[in-house]
Amino acid sequence: MRRAAAALVIVLGALGVLGPALVLAAAPVDEQTVHAIAAQLRCVVCQSLSVADSPSETAHQMRDIIRERLATGETPEQVTAYFVARYGDWILLAPPRRGFTLLVWVVPFVGLALGLVVVAVAVRRWSRVSAGRAAAAAPEVDAATRERIRREMAEGGP
Amino acid sequence: MSRLRWAIPLAVLPVIALLAYGFWTDPRGEVKSPLIGKPASPFTLSTFTGAPVSLDGLRGRVVLVNFWASWCIPACYEEAPVLQEVWRDYERHGLAMVGINVQDKDDEARKFMEQFKFTFPNAMDVGGKVAVNYGVYGVPETFLIDKKGRIRERKVGAVDAEALRGQVERLLAEPS
């Protein structure tokens, strides 16, 4: 009886130790997810490189941290939020579409729209001016000349 | 038509001004840490002497946390004597100090500490988790944590002796 109890304790103990390891092994971290998160994050020691693209030691460590956090069950959004909480929005390669940085997304399109309006107005004005000039260049044919042309055409030419 | 001739260079000017501002601005120096005023992230590390050091163990004290590396030339070499002096002068007033060595080789880090005769605890941040927890961009970087455990100051680059002393004294004078 005592031996059975001891065996039970050993089995339960082993489960206690191996349990979390088995859970981790059952949910391997998807490397594509790690890459997708790393690609959004700015490598803090580089110029304009993402954590995914940088060969630096810091970027390597940051990729390990992403992997570890995903392994503990965090969602990609939670992992990204972890870095933003420490480095601010600066860590994101694409500025967030809210607040002041929303301007970065909106201004190019507003600029493009304004440019198109300016071009449309200019084209209309130029075409009106050239139409006016063409009209001015071609003077009205008076009634007498028109009568002469008709007569000459009826006669079969001079 | 003559108005249009001016419109094009005038439209280009703001773009050039924006680019000039972008290129002249230090991308790191200008960024304010979102951690200022927030509780400092706890850590437990093993120092080079083998003793454990943890932020929780220093609760209630003003803590200076300095991130450094032996390969960080010249900034870490410039500030090392200042740090040791500040430690020597303010330890008895209750200042706690932890040097956190990042991305370094053990023997080179030890040589650095010997060169500057560091007497405050220093530990290696294997894996870089503590550095990321503090939003560290590079070395050196220094944080001052108040008696309530909040990050109050952050300095990117070598510390300035006078400024650092002023900050330490101010935090030491605060009620706990």
Mean pLDDT of A131-149: 81
For residue B34, which residues of chain A lie inside 8 Å, CB to CB?
84-88
Q: What average pLDDT does range A118-133 have in this prediction?
A: 88
- Substitution target in B103, B124, B143, B154 with the highest count of A β-carbons within 10 Å is B103
pLDDT, greater one: B95 or A108: B95
> Per DSSP, what are the bridge partners of residue B100?
B67, B123
pTM over 0.90: no
**Torsion angle (degrees, nearest 10) of CA A76, A78, A79, A80:** 90
Residue B109, pLDDT score: 98
Average pLDDT over residues B121-129: 96
Q: What residues of A are in the B interface, CB distance below 8 Å?
A: 44-45, 47, 57-58, 61-62, 64-65, 83-88, 90, 122
For residues A27-42, average pLDDT = 92
- Taking contacts as CB-CB distances below 8 angstroms, the residues of chain B near A86 are 34-35, 132-135
pLDDT over 60 (residue A84)? yes
Percentage of residues in chain B with pLDDT exceeding 90?
81
Q: Are A37 and A79 in contact (CB under 8 A)?
A: yes
Which of A7-21, A81-95, B11-25 holds the top average pLDDT? A81-95
According to DSSP H, which parts of B29-158 are helical? 75-90, 106-115, 129-133
* A2-94 is classed CATH 1.10.8.640: yes
Distances (CA, A) of A50 to A34, B24, B92, B141: 12, 22, 45, 22
By CB neighbour count within 10 A (0-12 exposed, 13-18 middle, 19+ buried), where does A61 fall? buried
Q: Using the predicted structure, report yes or no on whether residue A23 has a pLDDT greater than 50.
A: no
**Could you tell me the pLDDT band of residue A98, with boundaries at 50, 70 and 90?**
confident
Q: Record the tokens describing residue B69, joined without a space.
A: 């590396």
Q: What is the pLDDT of residue A16?
A: 52
Q: Are A69 and A41 in contact (CB under 8 A)?
A: no
CA distance A87 to chain B (A): 5
Which stretches within B25-137 are classed as H helix? 75-90, 106-115, 129-133
Q: Work out the minimum CA distance from B34 to partner chain A, whole angstroms.
A: 6
Residue A18 pLDDT greater than 80, yes or no? no
Q: How far is CA B130 from CA A25, A49, B95, B104, B111, in A?
A: 26, 22, 21, 14, 22
- Give the domains, in start order, of chain B with CATH numbers: 34-173 (3.40.30.10)
Q: What angle do CA B136, B141, B143 make, to 5 degrees?
A: 90
User: What's the pLDDT score for residue B30?
Assistant: 52
Contact of B22 with chain A, judged by CB distance below 8 Å, is answered with: no
Span A128-142, average pLDDT: 78
pLDDT surpasses 70 at A140: yes
